[in-house]
Amino acid sequence: MRVGVLGGGQLGRMLGLAGIPLGIRFRFLDPGPDAPARQVGEWIRGGYGKLEALETFVSGLDLVTWEFENVPVETAQTLRDRVAVRPNPVALERAQDRKVEKQLFRSLGIPTASFRTVDSREELLRAGADLGFPAVLKTRRMGYDGKGQRLLQSARDVDGAWAELQGSPLILEAFVPFRRELSIVGARGKDGKVVFYPLVENRHRSGILVRTEAPAPQVPSALEELAQSYLRRLMGEMEYVGVLALELFHVGDDLFANEMAPRVHNSGHWTQDGALTSQFENHIRAVTGLPLGPTDPEGVTIMVNTIGRVPSPAAVLRLPGTHLHLYDKVPRPGRKLGHVNVRGATRADARERARAVEELLGDLEGHQ
């Protein structure tokens, strides 16, 4: 079977590594200039909107999926006339606009922060007065890794934020005073069966995920079930096939949905070395119609992203319990270049081992 993937970044690379042992061949469409997935399949270098590149890409494929949620919905729809596209492209539409996404959450009874759409300075002032401060101004589209966001502590920050983000459709969100950030990753098969990985706890720095602890500590079963019910509703509503991730704020005993990712997700990378089946393999199994694999965690795994600079592989692998995953990308400040999964039999073990990794990577990153 030949699977095409829209996007050829690290997620595509790891989908390929997981899918090749299942006998699948891969082709990636990516505008470049580099494409980490090129090591594990054919790389068609081209834009997602270029008909000629799309034609070359789709020819001979059995199936198309994506690893990048900002692929134009029209591209996915166009390909659908030629070949099966999974997940359902409607998921791109819903995930690409923060307003549409939040409306979807609310229509399914999934709590979110209060929000107002903002298209002018006046609307921003009014929204700030309505929601109160602090609040977060975000572009509705194309935001990732903390890009396209400004925290407004008070009305005094309005003008600065407006000056920076105006020109794009915006949304102002009430700041959620969360205890912690959690996320849940699950997969839904063609037959509608779903599996869930356990809730994990995430830590961000400058809007970029830096650390995931899996499973999250101190999760009562009611909280786990709540998160699963939210993800299940989303998957059902969108007739979703594949891996879907949902970022959540943990507030009191409640969970507020922050955003969803209709694809494999950075907070699921721990599954490569800490779960019976990785999120990458389960995505491939789901979209190709294979039975989903068990998601049970083994011990406690902590994923630490390597950002901006590539660590010495020898230094990482000398530390106990580490597994190294590099993306073969050109280093640049703030760029995700790899991750280290570190596993321990107990949480204390895993944390001690993760601390050693973080110290090593911290020394590299300096005080950035």
Q: Which residues bind a copy of itself (CB under 8 A)?
A: 13, 17, 20-23, 25-26, 39-41, 285, 289-291, 293-294, 298, 310, 313-314, 317-318, 320, 323-326, 328, 338
State whether the Cα torsion 294-211-9-148 is positive or negative.
positive
The nearer residue to a copy of itself, 51 or 317, going by C-beta atoms, is: 317
Three-state SS at 283 = helix
The nearer residue to a copy of itself, 22 or 151, going by C-beta atoms, is: 22
Q: Who's near 192: CB < 8 A, 6+ residues apart?
A: none
Q: Encoding tokens for residue 362?
A: 């911290």
The nearer residue to a copy of itself, 73 or 310, going by C-beta atoms, is: 310
Q: How far apart are CA 10 and CA 60, in angstroms?
A: 24
Q: Encoding tokens for residue 280?
A: 């990458």
For every residue of 218-275, DSSP letters joined together read S--HHHHHHHHHHHHHHHHHTT--EEEEEEEEEETTEEEEEEEESS--GGGTTHHHHB
Whole-number Cα distances in Å, 329 to 34, 142, 336:
7, 21, 8
The nearer residue to a copy of itself, 3 or 174, going by C-beta atoms, is: 3
The nearer residue to a copy of itself, 124 or 187, going by C-beta atoms, is: 187
Residue type, 165: L
The nearer residue to a copy of itself, 26 or 57, going by C-beta atoms, is: 26
User: Which helix (H) or strand (E) covers residue 213, if one does?
Assistant: strand 208-214
Closest CA to 88 of 80, 96, 97: 80
Work out how close the CB of 152 gets to a copy of itself at its nearest, in angstroms, rounded to a whole number: 41
Q: What is the DSSP letter of 47?
A: -
The nearer residue to a copy of itself, 142 or 276, going by C-beta atoms, is: 276
Work out how close the CB of 326 gets to a copy of itself at its nearest, in angstroms, rounded to a whole number: 4
Work out how close the CB of 337 gets to a copy of itself at its nearest, in angstroms, rounded to a whole number: 9
Work out how close the CB of 166 gets to a copy of itself at its nearest, in angstroms, rounded to a whole number: 41
Work out how close the CB of 39 gets to a copy of itself at its nearest, in angstroms, rounded to a whole number: 5
The nearer residue to a copy of itself, 209 or 337, going by C-beta atoms, is: 337
Work out how close the CB of 322 gets to a copy of itself at its nearest, in angstroms, rounded to a whole number: 9
State whether the Cα torsion 340-346-348-352 is positive or negative.
negative
Q: How far apart are CA 181 and CA 249, in angstroms?
A: 5
Q: How far apart are CA 96 and CA 355, in angstroms?
A: 35
For every residue of 137-187, DSSP letters joined together read EEESSS--TTTTEEEESSGGGHHHHHHHHTTS-EEEEEPP--SEEEEEEEE
Work out how close the CB of 160 gets to a copy of itself at its nearest, in angstroms, rounded to a whole number: 40
Q: How far apart are CA 1 and CA 60, in angstroms?
A: 10
Q: How far apart are CA 173 and CA 185, in angstroms?
A: 24
The nearer residue to a copy of itself, 323 or 347, going by C-beta atoms, is: 323
Work out how close the CB of 291 gets to a copy of itself at its nearest, in angstroms, rounded to a whole number: 5
